[in-house]
Amino acid sequence: MTATAVKQSRRRGRRRVFNTVNVSAVAIALITAAPIYWLLVNSITPTGEMGTLPPTFWPADPTLTHYEEAFGQHAFGRYLFNSLLVACLATTTVLGLSLFAGYALARMPVRGKGPIMVFLLMISVFPTIAVVTPLYMIERSLGLLNTHIGLILPYVAFNLPFAVWIMRNYLKDLPYELEESAQIDGASTTRTVWSVILPTVRPGLFAVGVFTFTACLTEFLMAMTFSSEDEMRTVPVGIALFGSEFEVPFGTIFAASVATVLPIAVLALVFRRAVVAGMTAGAVKG
């Protein structure tokens, strides 16, 4: 479509190019935004108006009842707490481990770097379903089911490989003067990594952080399997299992969804550069 459009535009001059591009851009924006709009609107539409046809595109009287239901009557506050706690602790751990592991792989004398990198890459794409049952049985015998640690551990393990890749790519390109001057001053390697390398790789850490945090907040399969008790559910599990076979209270679900997706979306927008850098680090450099 674009190709023919661009060809036409070549014939009709420069102005037309901008029009075609702009029209497509508006179409892309609309298609992307429409479902998001519907989510927002239905989270503030009273239940009575929700199922009506033709649909209410803007509620006659917007209400926050659904939010009260989700966080007052139902346990979404608790779910959000579980999600945030697990995501924060897992992300912190991933950041620490990936900084040092990435450093070792990028700039220290280690044999077998290649195989280690390939091994990590393989792990990062392996389907969760292949490990979920054995992990369930291990956690069951260690008493880790329905605990926060029981989710943090697998989240760390599944997000580490990608994080190490990104950190290694960032660290690889740093000039060697950085460490050399620190070593001449007599600093240990760990001290050098902590006080000289760490500040210079902040963009990389940001990318890893936002990525891991988002992945932890959205993960579903392991969360549902390992934390089945109501008290220990994370937001995705709460949202998926909420309601019954006969009635799905969409208003409450959407209110809880908006309240959870909003912080992630804001985070992604604020750290837009870091997110995009993280997305493309694997693709363009790899």
Partner 1 sequence: MTAHTQDPAPARATGTERVRTARSPRTGRAQRAATRTAWVYLTPTLVVVGAVTVFPVLFSLAMSFSHVNLSYSGFELEGPTLDNYVALFTSARWYSALAFTLFYTVVTVAVELALGTLVALVLERLTAGRGWLMALLLVPWAMITVVSAQLWAFMLNSSYGVVSWFFDLVGLEVVILGEPAPAVAAVMIADIWKTTPFVAIIVLAGLVTIPREQYEAASIDGAGAWHSFWRITLPQLTSTLAIAVLFRTLQSFGVFDLPFVMTGGGPGTATEPLALLGWRVMFQSLNLGAGAAVAVTTGGIVLVICLLALKLFRAQVGEVRR
Applying the rule CB under 8 A, the residues between 161 and 200 that interact with partner 1 are: 161, 164, 170, 173-177, 180, 189-190, 200
Q: Minimum distance between the CB of residue 52 and partner 1, rounded to whole angstroms?
A: 8
Please state, in angstroms and rounded to a whole number, the distance separating the CA atoms of residues 164 and 204: 10
142 binds partner 1 (CB under 8 A): no
Cβ atoms of 45 and 251 within 8 Å: the answer is yes
279 binds partner 1 (CB under 8 A): yes
User: 139, 161, 141, 159: which is closest to 149 by C-alpha?
Assistant: 139
Which positions from 145 through 164 interact with partner 1, judged by CB under 8 A?
153-154, 156-158, 160-161, 164
- Report how many residues bind partner 1 under the rule CB under 8 A: 109
Which positions from 119 through 138 interact with partner 1, judged by CB under 8 A?
120, 122-123, 125-138
272 binds partner 1 (CB under 8 A): yes
Q: Minimum distance between the CB of residue 258 and partner 1, rounded to whole angstroms?
A: 9
CA distances from 183 to 73, 180, 199 (A): 59, 5, 17
88 binds partner 1 (CB under 8 A): no
Cβ atoms of 169 and 281 within 8 Å: the answer is yes
CA distances from 63 to 42, 60, 80, 127, 256 (A): 10, 10, 22, 41, 14
- Cα angle 12, 13, 19; round to 5: 85
- Kindly write out the interface string for residues 8-27 of this chain, putting x where it contacts partner 1 by CB under 8 A and - elsewhere: --x------xx--xx-xx--
Q: Which of 64, 142, 149, 240 binds partner 1 (CB under 8 A)?
A: 240
| The one segment of 62-70, 74-82, 101-109 that binds partner 1 by CB under 8 A | 101-109
Q: Residue ranges of the alpha helices (H) in the chain?
A: 2-12, 14-43, 47-50, 65-68, 76-107, 113-125, 129-142, 149-172, 177-184, 189-192, 198-200, 202-218, 221-226, 235-241, 250-270, 272-280
Which positions from 38 through 67 interact with partner 1, judged by CB under 8 A?
38-39, 42, 50-55
Which positions from 202 through 221 interact with partner 1, judged by CB under 8 A?
203, 214, 217-218, 220-221
Q: Which of 64, 142, 149, 265 binds partner 1 (CB under 8 A)?
A: 265
